[in-house]
Structure 1
Amino acid sequence: MSGDQPPPSGKPEPEEADHVVFGETPDTCGAYPRLTEDQTARLAEHGQRRSMAPNDVLIQEGERCETFVVVLSGTVAVVEDYGTPEERVLRLHGPGRFIGELGLLHGQVAFYTAVAREPGEILVVSLDQLRHLVSQDSSIGDVVLRACLGRRALLVGQGAGFRIIGSRYSPDTRRLREFTLRNRLPHRWIDLETDEEAEELLRRFGVGPEETPLVIWRDTTLLRNPSNAELARLIGLPSLPAKNRHGDVLIVGSGPAGLAAAVYAASEGLSTTVVEALATGGQAGTSSRIENLLGFPAGISGAELTERAVLQADKFGARISIPVEATALHPKDEDHYVVAFADGSQIAARAVVLATGARYRRLQVPGIERLEGTSVHYSATAYEAKQCRTDPVAIVGGGNSAGQAVLFLAGYAPKVHLLVRGPSLEASMSRYLIDQVERHPRVEVMLHTEVTEVIGQEVLEELDVIDNRTGGHHRLAVRGLFVFTGADPHTQWLAGTTALDSRGFVLTGPEAQEASAYPEAWQSRGRSCMTLETSLPGVFAVGDVRSGSVKRVASAAGEGAMAIHFVHRYLGRTAAHGGTDSAPHSRPKESAWLA
């Protein structure tokens, strides 16, 4: 971001009414559009006009966002650490601009304070009305969504929000950083070993290094080694409902498959709950660019695709709760299943969709563990990329995830080495990616190459690599290692409950029925196991967790949508055999938000 400059004095001219204090351009990432007169007029039909005086606080940092504010006249400053010696102005908004970022749409707390600088008038729209307009009016929806996504990215990049103080060698520090990064939460990590600010903050709050990691926000809130759930509550991430823990469909996992299932289930009138252990989007949510997804010729980032799907599911009434880790699944009665969670809570549902995906496979070589989270990464986002501007990096893997990461990081690092243990890229990477990777001037593809050791104490210094044809070793000087070597299914909690294949993926369809420990369950129903149904009638598996699935975003979303068709069939058959009311057989409602 650019330097800390004081905001301009006097009333800005119309074309300068929105002033960048931190930012590369006046419209960085499309984050600061000016609403047209027509868009403002449509918003005005659903809001209220209010006057504002200098120093009126419109949005308070740390409090839940409750309204959407459009500046009609005057100016509004967006400020971090308002009222403290560390106060800094992030942006000045003039007429036609609006206040808010991604947390606004999700009901999170604000990471900034919005305060009036010059007298004027604002338009205030309730969040319910805003969500309705975003979903129904594509002109307003696209502008607001892209701006909110861009602003969240800028907040993350400039280190706004809360602070994490902890050691790079601490597993809990790595856990908190992964949770905040995957959920795209604005924060700043203060390294206990290298950052001078760490010692001063520990003295100020009277805590010792052994009590880290700490989460500090606004110098008024201190959490000692919080769980992910405690941090989520601080920020306002949605939790499980306190009541009404019965529903039609429970979806476990929120990657493309789970989110697609949520959209179709909720849009067709089924009461729908989605639970997620870490962050929405799954592996796709960490992708810097997805270029082969139908309908996006220019590509789309995993984060934007995820947020669009989350908003779409929310629009139809699906409830998404984070972080909630499923630990057990078992029948409750003839008509319901119960899923238990790590915090001791439970949810009952008439049908369950398993969309837990897979977890990145860690590279098992000497020296790697101590550098995971600092120099060794299992995703390539803007956060990691910014650490690679001056030094070469290496990527291990030969699939599409590795190819996407190569092209993304090549835009930052001076040199990217792609290490592939096989003889070519054709076996697992799409042709369009291969062509771009092989043509890129900053990329070197090294075939028949494997990492045997990671060298470095505090930061990565070198990799020891071997040519698996000749057995010859040599050293590769890099400062970052990115690993994309596949993933293992997240099904440990299902062992002994549903039939799994030899690798731990969930069996579905005829294979599941054949492997079922209770074949009489199908005989009593007078039918066979449906295509996406597991060995438990009424429990379905979609996306990467399913045995034999195609590891693509489009196919995962398709399976999620198709699963709801089978859920309807299952619930209808359940009703016919004396169960509860059957689900409505309405036609799926198509929408451009997930496309």
Structure 2
Amino acid sequence: MTARVGQPLLETPDPDGAFPRLTDEQIKTLARLGSVRPTRVGDRLYEQGAQATDFYVVLAGMVAVVEGVGARQRIVQVHGPRRFLGEVGLLEGQPAFVSAVVAQPGEVLAVPLDSLRPVLLGDAALGEEILRAYLIRRSLLIGHGAGLRIIGSCFSPDTRRLLEFAARNRLPHRYLDVEKDAQAETLLTRFGVPPDETPVVVLDGADLLRNPSNVELARRMGLRRPQPRPDLSDLLVIGAGPAGLATIVYGASDGLTLTSVDSTATGGQAGTTSRIDNYLGFPSGISGADLAERSTIQADKFGGRITVPAEALDLRTCGGHHLVGLDDGTELAARAVVIATGVRYRRLPVPGIERYEGTCVYYAATAHEARACRTAPVSIVGGGNSAGQAAVFLARESAQVHLLVRGGDLGDNMSRYLVDQVTHHPRIAVLTHSEVRDVVGDEDLRGLVVENTTTGERHVVSSQVLFVFIGARPHTRWLAGAVALDRDGFVLTGPDADGHRDDDGWRHVSRRPLALETSRPGVFAVGDVRRGSVKRVSAAIGEGATAVRMVHDHLFEED
């Protein structure tokens, strides 16, 4: 529901479980922790751009969830009695992307967030109901284009950087192109910013950041909160994909003093996946974004805070401890390190494609990217599971999805269940033996020049958006000379690392490298970054849990 302020209000329907009503018993449980407050029309329970401090349940009256300020306000949702307010950012300490305004007088139950957290983590039914609703609401905000306004040119590398960072961190936002969007010009005029000084990020209608760094934007959005760091941690985790998140959760829950960082966002490559259908325990599937959000909240439950963005630049040993230098100039020290930096998707080597990256060409298929497609024809390059999952996801709305596969058989690299879904979908066309040779378009992508590698024939495939999933390379350049890598850059562990052991490091260690240990004692590698890993989310999570056990063994040996 989207309406202008002043129009007659109807409560937002709830077809998908985003706005459940709490039971009497659940309200009684929460009432023990909070207080009942009377409300008047116009009362603002929380403001867009500010961090909320309370969790609200509407007891009587109606509350409107509003985007924007002043005359530009739009009503996004309306909630009546027994419904609760907020979305997942409330649990993660992020500023609100919308405001909550009382539309009809009544009462609300206000529960301080510090009091709410133990209940959410201790009451499985209530906690799951709130968390599920909050995750769906974040997706709705993303689909609605609420939240941040990123204003810039599609030809600007900084604009593309900010768009990618916002998307990877699942921040609701809308992109306004200065080249063709009238609203962009209006906003820039209001803020007194000439177009050549973009990109800018509008936070809440009144607050603007001029070409912020990823770190600055992360701080303003609550992703990088100040936190005390021990001079020496038991464990330092580099990377927060599924393997890293599992390491953080199990390590923190075991009581290890733990520090963790990621260069871009929690979730890793799995966080860019529209749906994981073969993950044990989720028969209806789970999106990569939901898995990342749930895991991040679970890590926070045990005190495992993750610093984003913070990129590791080097690894060395000093005085028997491991030191990792970060891109902000700081250095972290730990008794053990787990490397979980994963892989980076390969770029498509096609002339001129870079000018469309971030606006028409994407390397992930989440709700953010899907919003750019809507019903437009799209193409996907790739023949693995990521490409198949993206095709099925995007075909929900797109009129035509072309899946361009270099090989001749989808079953060579794609799971059978996905092959069946792709080949039987009426809006997905599979083009085998096909490679992209050129792009067609001016400011916007219009099509792809595709060559049949068997016949040599070329033709143009109509496409306004392109998704690329053509394999990945390990993110290990920063480890050169620190631990043994194979010729493709993957980290060697266990028996593979045994023949490359650092003699100085192993001088006082009588054992050989443990199964997930690298050529340097006390440094472990898990997930896709490790040679021989199984490219499955469940396997990555298992490795993270196993690595914690090995870290305990290593620390015990040190003591």
Normalising to structure 1: TM-score of the pair?
Answer: 0.91
Is 1:291 the equivalent of 2:292? no
Aligned mate of 1:568, from 524, 539, 552: 552
Q: Aligned equivalents of 1:149 and 1:274: distance in 2?
A: 23
Structure 2 residue corresponding to 1:180, chosen from 156, 166, 170: 166
Amino acid at match of 1:423: G
Name the counterpart of 2:311. 325
Letter in 2 for 1:371: Y
2:345 corresponds to 1:360? yes
CA distance in 2, matches of 1:503, 1:414: 39
> 2:250 aligns to what?
264
- Alpha-carbon distance between aligned partners in 2 of 1:104 and 1:175, rounded to the nearest angstrom: 26
User: 3-state SS of the aligned residue for 1:143?
Assistant: helix
Partner of 1:534: 518
Q: Identity, % of aligned pairs?
A: 56
Counterpart CA distance in 2 for 1:150 and 1:452 is: 39
Shift of 1:142: 1.3
- Which residue in the other structure is 1:44 paired with? 31
The residue type paired with residue 114 of structure 1 is: A
2:122 aligned residue (136, 149, 153): 136
The residue correspondences of 1:71-82 to structure 2 (distance < 5 A) are 71-82=58-69
Match of 1:373 in 2: 358
Deviation at 1:89, TM superposition (A): 2.2
Q: Tell me which stretches of 4 or more aligned residues in structure 1 moved more than 6 Å.
A: none
Q: Letter of the 1:353 partner, please give it.
A: V
CA contact (8 A) 2:152 2:199 kept: yes
Conserved 8 A contact 1:386-1:412: no
Distance in structure 2 (CA, Å) of the matches to 1:225 and 1:354: 31
* Partner residue of 2:449 out of 453, 464, 487: 464
Rounded Cα–Cα distance in structure 2 between residues aligned with 1:365 and 1:80? 40
Q: What SS does structure 2 have at the residue aligned with 1:95?
A: coil
What do residues 200-246 of structure 1 show as CA deviations (whole Å, max 9, x unaligned)?
A: 22222222222110112234322111101111111121345255343
Is residue 2:478 matched to residue 1:493? yes
1:171 offset after TM fit, Å?
A: 0.8
Q: Tell me the residue number matched to 2:71.
A: 85
Following superposition, the deviation at residue 132 of structure 1 comes to 1.7
Q: Is the Cα contact below 8 Å between 1:398 and 1:425 reproduced in 2?
A: yes
Mapped partners of 1:338, 1:460: distance in 2: 45
User: Quick one: distance in 2 between partners of 1:28 and 1:354?
Assistant: 42
Unaligned runs of 5+ in 1: 10-15, 21-25, 576-595
Unmatched 5+ stretches in structure 2: none
Aligned partner of residue 106 in structure 1, secondary structure: coil
Q: How does 1:552-591 map to 2 (within 5 A)?
A: 552-575=536-559
CA distance in 2, matches of 1:87, 1:461: 34
Q: Which of 549, 553, 557 is the equivalent residue of 2:533?
A: 549
> Closer, same or farther in 2 for the Cα pair 1:210/1:126, shift >3 Å?
same
User: Which residue among 273, 292, 297 is the counterpart of 1:311?
Assistant: 297
Amino acid of the structure 2 residue aligned with 1:363: L
Q: 8 Å contact 1:352–1:540 — kept in the other structure?
A: yes
What does residue 330 of structure 2 align with?
A: 345
Distance 1:33 1:187, change over 3 A: same
Distance 1:4 1:122, change over 3 A: closer
Aligned residues: 559
What secondary structure is seen at the aligned counterpart in 1 of 2:56? strand
Deviations 1:124-176 (A, max 9, x none): 22222322222221111111111111111122222222211100111110100
Match of 1:108 in 2: 94
Shift of 1:459: 1.5
Bigger drift between 257-266 and 458-467 goes to: 458-467
Amino acid at match of 1:247: S
Deviation per CA, 1:9-66, whole angstroms, max 9, x where unpaired? 6xxxxxx7xx12xxxxx11542111111111112222223333333332212222121
Query: Which amino acid in structure 2 is aligned with residue 56 of structure 1?
Result: D
Q: Report the secondary structure of 1:426's partner residue.
A: helix
3-state SS in 1 of match to 2:329:
coil
* Paired residues of 2:3 and 2:75 also in contact (CA < 8 A): no
Helix, strand or coil at the partner of 1:99: coil
Please report the RMSD computed on the Cα atoms of aligned residues, expressed in angstroms.
1.7
Cα offset for 1:196? 1.1
Whole-angstrom distance in 2 between the partners of 1:174 and 1:139: 41
- Cα deviation for residue 2 of structure 1 reads 4.8
Pick closer, same or farther for the CA change 1:71–1:426 going to 2, 3 Å: same
Partner letter of residue 201 of structure 2? V
User: CA separation of 1:269/1:438 partners in 2, compared to 1, >3 Å: closer, same or farther?
Assistant: same
Partners of 1:199 and 1:5 lie apart in 2 by 24
Match of 2:52 among 58, 65, 70: 65
Distance, in Å, in 1 between the alignment partners of 2:315 and 2:226 is: 17
Structure 1 CA distance for aligned equivalents of residues 196 and 231 of structure 2: 39
Contact 1:287 1:401 in 2 (8 A): yes
Residue 134 (structure 2) aligns with: 148
Corresponding position: 1:515 with 2:500:
yes
Give the deviation of 1:3 after TM superposition: 5.2
Which of 189, 203, 214 is the matching residue for 2:200? 214
Q: CA shift at 1:525, angstroms?
A: 0.9
Paired residue for 1:406? Answer: 391
Give the superposition deviation at 1:356. Answer: 0.7
In structure 1, give the amino acid aligned to 2:331.
Q
**CA distance in 2 between partners of 1:197 and 1:110 (Å):** 22
Counterpart among 75, 81, 85 of residue 95 in structure 1: 81
Q: Output the TM-score relative to the length of structure 2.
A: 0.96
